[in-house]
Amino acid sequence: MPSGFALTVRFTLRDAEAAQQFDELVARTATGIREEPGTLVYAVHEPVDEPLVRVFYELYADRAAFQAHEDQAHTKHFLAAREQYLANTEVMFLNELEGLSKRPGLEG
């Protein structure tokens, strides 16, 4: 049975300086996200050979946990502050069809 609520976000950054500042903003924001009980995975990646792109994978216990994340002060600050660094943002919400996790608590 599918569980959780997931999305990916692909951020394209303006330039190398914006990428550095964006990464610093993400690091500061992550401190608060780690304390959110319903946020199961919040992973940030830089695709190979795309130094100005960041891809976020976010997995929440359910839609309510996602909304609780969105309502946090640190998330609201991130959402407002990130705009100055971005050239483009693409969001994809995901429906789980089949899951496999080897981490306790993330069984799909």
Tens-place pLDDT, residues 46-104: 999 999 999 999 999 999 999 999 999 999 999 999 999 999 999 999 987 776 665 55
Residue 71 has a pLDDT of: 98
Residue 12 maps to which CATH number? 3.30.70.100
Residue 43 within any structural domain of the chain: yes
Number of separate domains in the chain: 1
Q: Counting Cβ atoms within 10 Å, is residue 24 exposed (0-12), middle (13-18) or buried (19+)?
A: exposed
Tens-place pLDDT, residues 24-44: 999 999 999 999 999 999 999
Which residues span the domain enclosing 89? 5-94
pTM of the model: 0.86
